[in-house]
Structure 1
Amino acid sequence: MKSFLKIVLALGIGFLVGFLIIELLYGNVTALDFSNLYFWLSILLLLLSVGLIIFVCLTSNILLKKNKQQAKNLNEDDLDRFKYNTFNQLTAASTTALVMSLVALAIQILNAEIMWLIITSGIIFTITVILSIFVGGIINSLYPERNLPNPSDKDYADKLFEASDDGEIHVMAKGLYRSTQLTMTLLFISMVAMILYSIITEDSQVFSIIIIGLIMIINQVKYAKEIKER
């Protein structure tokens, strides 16, 4: 998973740097016809989304079957580890598919405007939304004895911590802290990239920059409020 994230980050940064260099050297690249690029980018994102949908369906079926049979060839600790790791993979895959299909839909609506591709993107996006809801509910099937909260519960986070032991809370807190730090770093890089893009292309991204800035501020204030001593 770490290697995959590093590859995605490197590709994203490489694309951004390459685009800005070409724009700076040759100028007005944004005036070119990108409809063909948007078409194939949408196709790629949709194919990846479909692949992840298939992966989630097959893997969740295997997970639920093993859980129901209590995996006769696995001891209790190995089964718990398998359920925990597989559920995390399903969550990451379903969320990634959701984002990819949404990006593909946005590209088609805002730029390419190919009707059959818009409809296809909309259908796949709807499937990923349903799949994400389904994956979120799997955890209650995996641990029926623990009385875990429903993901739609407004106090889900508090109830989840109450139902978890100290070791699980430590793992969740560590993961959340690291992911939050990564998110803040990526948002800052995105803001700088948008500023450079606006300067080089003269295509203002002020609205997006303001939104990202607000997200960073709200996120940091919320974090400080949550960890404040009471």
Structure 2
Amino acid sequence: MKKTLKMILYLIIGAAVGLLVSITAQNIGGDVSTDRFYLSVSITTTIVAAFLIVLGIFQYRRLLTVAKDYTESMDEDSYDKYRYNKYNEIQIYGVIGFVLSLISLAIPLVIMNTYFSLPTFLFTFIVYIVSIIFLTRTTKLITKLYPERNLPQPSDKNYTDKLLLASDEGERHIMTTALYKTFSFTQVGIFFGILLLIVYSMLTGESQIFSIIILGIIMIISNTKYYSEIKEK
């Protein structure tokens, strides 16, 4: 699982860097239609998103099938590890598929005033709707896997507090460690994202000041929120 997820992450990062370089080169040269290039990126990204969603749906159905009678294929300890890892894997497929489909849908919407393709828009819109439905279904999966535990729904008020109360000490340690690592990675990612936008603006002459400001505000709010929550009260 870890190797597969690392491969997906490396592919996304590599694609993002390649896209930035290609778009920058096109804007400098000006020989190729940027809008057509964006649409090809939208189609490619939608296909990747659709593949991940289909893969997630397959894993989702397989997990529910195993959960109905896991005693046929594994013992209780093996099943606990299996359902925990498989649930997180499904969540990753759902989230990545949703984000990619959102990006894919955004492209034809943003450039529709200069170049609009109805088939591309419909394709990206359908995949986006499917990704929302699938992601919604996966958020309720945990209660099906752990019917014996009183786990809260993501829509519940004070969901974080309820989830921590329903978790044991080992689970809380895993969650808080993962959340801190994610927080640190996000801050570094936002910082380098701002730097890339500055370089892109300087090379192409297309101002990304608004995006830079938004990312800066998100970085300020997330850091302020984090340190306000952990300070002594």
User: Given the two structures, how large is their TM-score scaled by the length of structure 1?
Assistant: 0.91
Measured in 2, the distance between the counterparts of 1:40 and 1:188 equals 28
Matching residue of 2:8: 4
Measured in 1, the distance between the counterparts of 2:129 and 2:103 equals 13
Matching residue of 1:57: 57
Q: Deviations along 1:92-124, whole A, 9 cap, x unmatched?
A: 101111111111111111124211221221121
Residue 83 of structure 2 corresponds to residue 83 of structure 1: yes
Q: Describe how 1:49-198 pairs up with structure 2 within 5 A.
A: 49-111=49-111, 112-198=115-201
- The alignment yields a C-alpha RMSD, in angstroms, of 1.9
Q: CA deviation at 1:75?
A: 1.4
Q: CA deviation at 1:154?
A: 2.6
* Range moving further from structure 2, 45-54 or 167-176: 45-54
Percent identity of equivalent pairs:
34
Q: CA deviation at 1:15?
A: 4.3
Equivalent position to 2:223, from 213, 220, 229: 220
Measured in 1, the distance between the counterparts of 2:117 and 2:96 equals 23
Give the paired residue count. Answer: 226
2:43–2:124 CA contact under 8 A, matched in 1: no
2:23–2:34 CA contact under 8 A, matched in 1: no
Q: CA deviation at 1:31?
A: 7.1
Residue 203 of structure 2 corresponds to residue 200 of structure 1: yes
| Structure 2 gap ranges (5+) | none
| Structure 1 gap ranges (5+) | none
Q: CA deviation at 1:28?
A: 2.7
- The verdict on how the C-alpha distance between 1:51 and 1:113 changes in structure 2, with shifts beyond 3 A counting, is same
Q: Deviations along 1:118-177, whole A, 9 cap, x unmatched?
A: 122112111111110100100000001111001111311111100000101111111111
Measured in 1, the distance between the counterparts of 2:109 and 2:152 equals 37
